[in-house]
Homo-oligomer: A and B are copies of this chain.
Amino acid sequence: MILGVDIGGTSIKAGVVDQDGTVLKMDRVKTPKQQEEFVHALIKLINGLWTEYSGQINAIGIGCPGPLDAKNGMILKTPNIPQMTDLKTPLQNNFDVPIFFDNDANCFTLAEALYGAGKDHAVVLGITLGTGFGAGLVINDIIYSGRGNALELAHTVIDKNETVVFPNLVRGCVEQYVSTAGVLFSAKKYDLDVAEPIDVFQLAEVKNDKALAVWKEFGWNLGIVLTNAVCAFDPDVIVIGGQMNQAWQYFEEAMQESLEKNCIHPTPLIVRATVKEAGIVGASLLIR
């Protein structure tokens, strides 16, 4: 069995995964903001399952927001997670099994490619619509990493003349539009008084026009991101996951319209993610 860990900005989740990709047991903890507490909480979380499945864990796979130095277990500068110059050593000191790291969106895509909506497709592009924008590419069941941090589509520019600037973001990059911050900015433009995208989702559920307009804008921008991804990677399938995925019915139409208008290439299959806890499952698959 493999222990898969999914490090997120809100919580760290760990699970014991069998060789069929089934999560047998799961646990989670709130993500500490300080480096030392972060490491301590992570070790404690893993140790609980490690002890319970004593002697049965053959490896640990860890997915975390990129960019990172996967080989050395370094988490480079990324919002919401403490920067770590060496996460591997403290873990290795506690757990004497091979430990692997990769980007969380890569883990998500790997899980979907092997067990989910991307199964039986050669080239799978995975997209996670979360706090940020994540993407991964799996070619013949292998993550494409380039020098180590490919598929950072969040930071690609889709509006080079954008006048609004978001903190910590390149002007006009994907994450300025297709992210929690993007949805909230859009909501503000429409005079919606909300704190989180879930609020905009709930307003859409009761047919609030402004909320529906926000998701439409989100879908249109997502369509442009997908256009660029189709032109760049020409994948067999695009699998979309992440918590904002729940607003699918409110952004799908605008997303498709945007693709029809902007993408001159034949669009591939575009489907919703199907693997439960794909982050944990995908992390467990890093050992292959």
Q: Taking beta carbons and an 8 Å cutoff, which residues of A are in contact with B?
A: 67, 123, 139, 144-162, 170-171, 221, 224, 227-228, 231-236, 261-265, 268
Contacts and interface: CB of A to CB of B under 8 A. Distances in A.
A160 B221 contact: yes
Contact of A262 (B139, B170, B224): B170
20 contacts: A67-B265, A123-B147, A145-B234, A146-B236, A150-B231, A151-B234, A153-B232, A155-B263, A157-B228, A158-B160, A159-B159, A159-B160, A159-B161, A160-B224, A161-B162, A170-B263, A170-B264, A171-B262, A228-B228, A232-B233
Contacts of A262: 157, 170-171
Given A67-B265, A264-B155, A146 B228 contact: no
Given A262-B157, A262-B170, A152 B221 contact: no
A156 B156 CA distance: 11
B227 A157 contact: yes
Q: Name the residue in A157, A235, A264 with the highest tally of chain B Cβ atoms < 10 Å from its Cβ.
A: A157
A173 to B, nearest CB: 8
**Copies of this subunit:** 2
A254 to B, nearest CB: 13
Given A147-B234, A233-B146, A152 B224 contact: no
Given A157-B224, A160-B224, A161-B161, A234 B146 contact: yes
Nearest to A144: B139
In the A-B complex, the 5 residue pairs with the smallest Cβ-Cβ separation, listed nearest first, are A146-B234, A150-B234, A156-B228, A152-B231, A147-B234
Nearest to A264: B155
Contacts of A171: 262
Contacts of A228: 156-157, 228
Given A161-B161, A224-B157, A262-B157, A147 B268 contact: yes
A158 B171 CA distance: 12
Contacts of A227: 155-157, 170
Contacts of A123: 146-147
Nearest to A139: B144
